[in-house]
Structure 1
């Protein structure tokens, strides 16, 4: 038996037809797992940015409004629309995600 030098993960969404969700139940479950995995990645990314923002506030002290502004914007972008149950809500309530340069 030969070991692979590098582990590769398929990160693309599975082939799933939303018009006929029960046509392929395995694809439906894989798609659900894909959505949950992506949601957890978004949540953990927001947690990491929040922790960096806390450290920036502590280090910069009274200048945190100017020095940590970029982290605040990253945190707001990362938390917009993230969380359970927000996918079916209209974008006016939680706002669409912006693509930043």
Structure 2
């Protein structure tokens, strides 16, 4: 496959994750940048899901062998994307837990 999607320029203002509210404009730019990247990943997963469905319909009983590459690309694309129930299970990466203080 190999399609990675568009590359967005990083935010123009430097963002400090240690003190995110020091520069509110940088915080907003960082949020928008992450939102754009996530939307692209979700849409890529949707396109791959459609390819998997079409491959299953086209290949029939041989779909397990002939659609393997597309399915593996799809499973890789949904890791940690947040597509709801579609993303639950062993292929999902849970968000990191914050340490208790």
**TM-score, normalised on structure 2?**
0.72
Instruction: Assess, with a 3 A threshold, how the Cα gap between structure 1 residues 13 and 82 changes in structure 2: closer, same or farther.
Output: same
3-state secondary structure, aligned to 1:23: coil
Gaps of 5+ in 2: 1-6, 84-91, 97-101
**CA drift at 1:87:** 8.2
What residue in structure 1 maps to residue 74 of structure 2? 75
What residue in structure 2 maps to residue 12 of structure 1? 9
Give per-residue Cα distances to partners, 1:15-38, cap 9 Å, x unaligned: 211112111100100100111111
User: May I ask how many residue pairs the two structures share in their alignment?
Assistant: 83
In terms of Rg, which structure is larger?
1
What residue in structure 2 maps to residue 89 of structure 1? 95
TM superposition outliers: structure 1 runs of 4+ over 6 Å: none
**TM-score, normalised on structure 1?**
0.72
**CA drift at 1:88:** 6.9
Gaps of 5+ in 1: 1-9, 91-101
Instruction: Assess, with a 3 A threshold, how the Cα gap between structure 1 residues 88 and 76 changes in structure 2: closer, same or farther.
Output: closer
